[in-house]
Every structure is written in structure tokens, then in C-alpha cells.
Amino acid sequence: MTEQEISNLEAAISVSLKPSRWQHTLRCRESAIKLAKHFNFNCEKVALAALCHDAFRDLSASQWLILAKAWKIPISAEEENAPVLLHGPLAAKYLELRWGCCETDVLSAIHYHTSGHRELDPIGKIVFLADGIEPGRDFLKRKIIEEVAYKNLDEACLLMLDSNISYLEKHGLVCHPESYEWLTELKKQRKNGV
């Protein structure tokens, strides 16, 4: 995407979100860029994915479901019960349909930024982590996970997933099966020394 397109996209997203969510998005983008620079990954792709990750977060449950059906995004039973899980897939589809983005690593990072996925590449892992460790987040293990992220992305993702799943289970909220699958995979890799 050109600089002008990025600027236009940023303007469109900024007006679609509550001010607090927009500030979170900016902090997430900054955190993602820092991690990408640290590991020498593509900062432009990471910045674009982080910018778009919550673009559809402030819609209502009925709007998420209507848009997902209109854009032919498959809806799982978990997403039907907790439509908020659709905001990542919707944001990815929006970037593809409206802005012509066809970079699968960027779209995948946006799509799976909430649930994670066992096949996420480093760009997806960075966006997943940045969403949770940006400085505006306040939870017990945030600082520890941030420190680990600069040493080992997979280990940090494991810690973040474990924290997220524990929170959701404790509060009786729906957790996407992909989160459990990825956590299992990361634990297996850790056990095997990968």
C-alpha cells in the first residue's frame, strides 16, 4: 500500500473506533513495530496489521454476524455464541476487499490476533503479543510477557495464551478452539526443545 493509502486507512479506522480503542490501536502499533525492529522483521507489514487489528471491534454483536454472513466468512459455533470473536476476521476481510491487500501474512495476523493460530508466522505472533503487552494493558503477567517477548516469541505467545485462556475460563467467557490448539502446540514444542 502507498503512504497515502495508509494515511487514508488510518483516518477511516480512527473515526470508526471509540477514542480509547483508537489509543489502544496506536499503542499496539508502536509495540508491534518495536518487536519487529528487535527481531529484524518487516516493520511495514507489522504496522499495517496492528493498525487494522481492531478496526471492527466497536461494532455490535448483530453487526458482526450480519457482516460475516454478507462477506461469506464462515461462522463457527463459538463465534455464533460470542460474535466478538469475528472482529479479527472481519477486519482482515475489510482490508482485503476495500483496500486491496492480498498479503496473506498481514491478513492472517489480523484475522488471528485474538485467538492466535498454530500456523501464525512471526508477523502474526508479534501482532498477537503487541495487542496484549501494549503499555495501556494492565494485568498481572503483562510485564513478564513483554520481557520474554524480546527473547523468544513462541515462549511469550505461550504465556500470553495461558493468561488469556485462564481469564476467559475464570469469567465464563467463550474461548476459541484455535487458542487451545495453539497452546497445546506451543507446549509440545517447548517440551521437545523447539
Rounded CA gap, 9 and 79, in Å? 26
Whether the per-residue pLDDT at 193 is higher than 80: the answer is no
Distance CA 186, CA 115 (A): 14
* Position 188 in a domain: no
Q: Are 75 and 160 in contact (CB under 8 A)?
A: no
Residue 181 is assigned to a structural domain of this protein: no
Domain assignment of residue 60, yes or no:
yes
CB within 8 Å of 43: residues ≥ 6 apart: 33, 36, 37
List the domain range (segments joined by +) for residue 128: 3-139
Per the structure, the count of domains in the chain is 1
Give the CATH number, domain containing residue 128.
1.10.3210.10
Instruction: Classify residue 68: in a domain, yes or no.
Output: yes
Flag whether 145 is in a domain.
no
186 part of a folded domain: no
- Look at residues 22, 21, 18, 20 and name the one whose alpha carbon lies nearest to residue 10: 22
Evaluate whether residue 153 is within a structural domain: no
- Give a yes or no: residue 155 inside a domain: no
Global model pTM greater than 0.85: yes
The pLDDT tens digits of the residues spanning 57-71 come to 999 999 999 999 999
pLDDT digits (tens, 9 = 90+) for 133-181: 999 999 889 999 999 999 999 999 999 999 999 999 999 998 999 999 9
